[in-house]
Structure 1
């Protein structure tokens, strides 16, 4: 391929607020930021630009769950290729998911922590695997998994190449290991940055109004989603949960009384559509969360298609009854057993009390559920005292879980009542 000269003004392409990020060459480049802070887009631009600048450099892109990469990091990298006007020099593949710089054969590879063997056994045919981007690192709840990745980026690299792991995430919870490891200690090998929407000069007026409204109406969320500060989590609604790998089909096969339950919370522009897949064991008092989807901008046809592809279109799906037209449309599309949640007075607190009696086991693939349940907390009054009402945030899958379990909440109370009458403890 014959190369052509492209004249671009890099500061105009990447914008402001990331000078240190762009120039740092230490081992760990860590950026926590708010929504719309450009952290993912800037990382994608950095990778594409420097892959073309440094011959023999290869990059590994990682998220906790592999299936989330195509619509996030892969799309951001293609956006960066187009923004830099270098699409003629890159080959795009979706199976396997990878990008190749065609003049040299350098690769951008994609992996998920849900298949750790594929992370630790990566090799490249041209040059060296020297850079790694860990996107949405908040999803990685076990620091040992990150250590495994860190140790796999090893071996000697010849100058001017350098090894670097770029870590980007939203800072929902100050208890996360990322804070103590990268933000609470000083090292020449660590650049720890906090960014927010105020450095994003490409936001339009409606985008800015969204954050200004959040500042007034939800100041707690604004501190994290607006300014990129650490989320302070107190008074969690659920503390009875564990992350655990399990085979949900095996549990269904072995425990004959276990029920599969499904719930759906609708969303569109600002809120995601959230689909909950779980198993309920009333006897053992256990809930197993085994799958999910969590996407914005989904029309009902797309929601049905996603549930169909997951293999659950014939199941009872309990949906948010505030969207009865949507429930009816899902039925007409083929989700014949979709139904609206009954809700009613105190349904939120009754559902919460029911769920609090159970141990909840969450499969690692359910990264959005893990994020919500580790941030879903009780609200406070103006004096800072907790009140018997959850904060209206991090609750899309939490609501979907309640809908899924709705038919069993009253049933469990009846069983408990009968036992008490009979003197059974």
Structure 2
């Protein structure tokens, strides 16, 4: 079967080189709304239908994030190309099957490495990998294991390719050194922005203008697709690790803490769960939630769904009405943070005393903020004794949660 499409009408401008490239690595860093993910989805659906022996693997750091992101985007792409009747998108197991040939799109997470190294396909060959949100992969060795899974000879006309899409939050990330700093004819490294997206509305463009004026460091990444600058990092004593938080919770001296920072349109609401040992100065962050446009009833439902409805939760005190509403939805032990004078710097200084371990697969947004939260600078580049007002939503939630450790008598849970 063949189907003609107009590249410009379907995806617009800015991706012609991406569409034609056949080298092993196709790496796209870009801002929000730059079409990088939807274009990747369209490319893979289209080319699988053109090449009846090709199969595809889609990778994210955590498997359970596929259904609402890559799986949904590929399903949308099939609809966009007018071929959804030829595809079966299955939820259990999570996969997509091209009905005429039996070719498959498989979905895996790095939280189950054995599921990647043992992949086999029934029809044809495993040719292509799409790594979405590649920035979340902080360990280059994890990517190398995926890279090595694409091996073996292919029939004439077929080729192996790994496509990586991500927002470039931190210039110290291995992705920059490996794909953008070193010239390699087998690599296409692109930067795309919302400006090449003709399908955005005026309200979308207004949001980027607001970001440019109000949050220039975030606009540098999400608006312009440039690398975030990590100089002046506020928290340096942190790392990612895979750990069993249930076992750590049983160890003497550990206490569970929970914090909530409110957001809505421009900023996300952020919820953080951690285990802290005050005497050892050790902090394990084991769960998070990070989402825009959450109503208070949705925040309450999220907390219940995670099983924390009966826990002590310290929330941003600037929204007392929201706290009251969430309490009314059954989260009875939620209380406002006691901010006080210079509470941000005081909270930061206290957290800096701790060794911070972030769960490798459950808390990608905490890791993103820790690697991007920096001290502000004046016009001459001199660092100031105040943090930037950005990349701080999960970290603010963590500061609130730590109040009961830093000054336990200052918070009432009656």
Give TM-score scaled by structure 2 length. Answer: 0.95
CA offsets, 1:273-306, max 9 Å, x none?
2110100100111000111111222222222222
Aligned equivalents of 2:249, 2:210: Cα separation in 1: 46
Q: How far did 1:270 drift?
A: 2.1
The residue number in structure 2 matching 1:146 is: 143
- Residue 214 of structure 1: how far off its partner (Å): 2.5
The Cα RMSD (Å) is 1.6
Q: Which residue of 1 aligns with 2:184?
A: 187
The answer as to 2:340 corresponding to 1:330 is: no
Whether the aligned pair in 1 keeps the contact of 2:215 and 2:390 (CA below 8 Å) is no
Shift of 1:197: 1.0
Alignment match, 2:272: 276
Does the 8 Å CA contact 2:221/2:228 hold for their aligned counterparts?
yes
Tell which deviates more after alignment, 295-304 or 139-148: 295-304
Cα distance, 1:411 vs. partner?
4.5
The answer on whether the counterparts of 2:59 and 2:131 sit within 8 Å (CA) in structure 1 is: yes
Quote the Cα distance in structure 1 between the aligned partners of 2:360 and 2:105.
Answer: 25
Q: State the partner residue of 2:88.
A: 91
Partner of 1:209: 206
- Residue range with higher mean Cα deviation, 114-123 or 202-211: 202-211
Q: Deviations over 1:385-410 (max 9, x none)?
A: 11111101110100010111112212
**Counterpart in the other structure of 1:267:** 263
Assess if the C-alpha contact under 8 Å between 1:318 and 1:339 holds in 2.
yes
- The reply on whether 1:17 has 2:2 as its aligned counterpart is no
| 1:291 is aligned to 2:287 | yes
Q: Distance in 2 between matches of 1:273 and 1:216?
A: 21
Q: Per-residue deviation at 1:318?
A: 1.1
The residue matched to 1:77 in structure 2 has which SS? helix
Secondary structure of the 2:318 match is helix
CA contact (8 A) 2:13 2:196 kept: yes
Structure-2 residue corresponding to 1:236: 233
Paired position in structure 2 for 1:129: 126
- 1:409 aligned partner: 406
Q: Counterparts of 2:91 and 2:187 in 1: how far apart (Å)? A: 33
For the structure 1 residues 189 and 7, does the alpha-carbon distance in structure 2 shift closer, same or farther, using more than 3 Å as the test?
closer
Structure 1 length normalisation: TM-score?
0.93
Q: Which string of whole-angstrom CA distances, capped at 9 and with x for unpartnered residues, describes residues 187-219 of structure 1? A: 221000111111111111221122223333333
Counterpart Cα distance in 1 of 2:309 and 2:245? 17
- For 1:268 and 1:198, the matched residues in 2 are separated by 24
1:223 aligned residue = 220
Size of the aligned set, in residue pairs, is 409
Q: Give the structure 1 partner of residue 113 of structure 2.
A: 116
Q: 1:258 aligns with which of 254, 259, 273?
A: 254
**Where do 1:284-363 residues align within 5 Å?**
284-363=280-359
Corresponding position of 1:384? 381
Match of 2:154 among 154, 157, 162: 157
Distance 1:81 1:238 in 2: 43
- The 3-state SS of whatever aligns with 1:264 is strand
Question: Which residue pairs with 2:369 in the alignment?
Answer: 372
How much does 1:7 deviate? 5.6
CA deviation after TM superposition for structure 1 residue 233, in Å: 1.4
Q: Is the Cα contact below 8 Å between 2:256 and 2:274 reproduced in 1?
A: yes
Query: In the alignment, what sits opposite 1:418?
Result: none
- Note if 1:105 corresponds to 2:113: no
- CA deviation after TM superposition for structure 1 residue 6, in Å: 5.5
Unaligned runs of at least 5 residues, structure 1: 414-425
**Alpha-carbon contact 1:65-1:367 (below 8 Å) kept:** no
What is residue 245 of structure 2 aligned with on the other side? 248
Deviation for aligned residue 1:45: 0.6
Distance 1:360 1:412 in 2: 24
Q: Which shows bigger deviation, 98-107 or 217-226?
A: 217-226
The unaligned stretches of length 5 or more in structure 2 are none
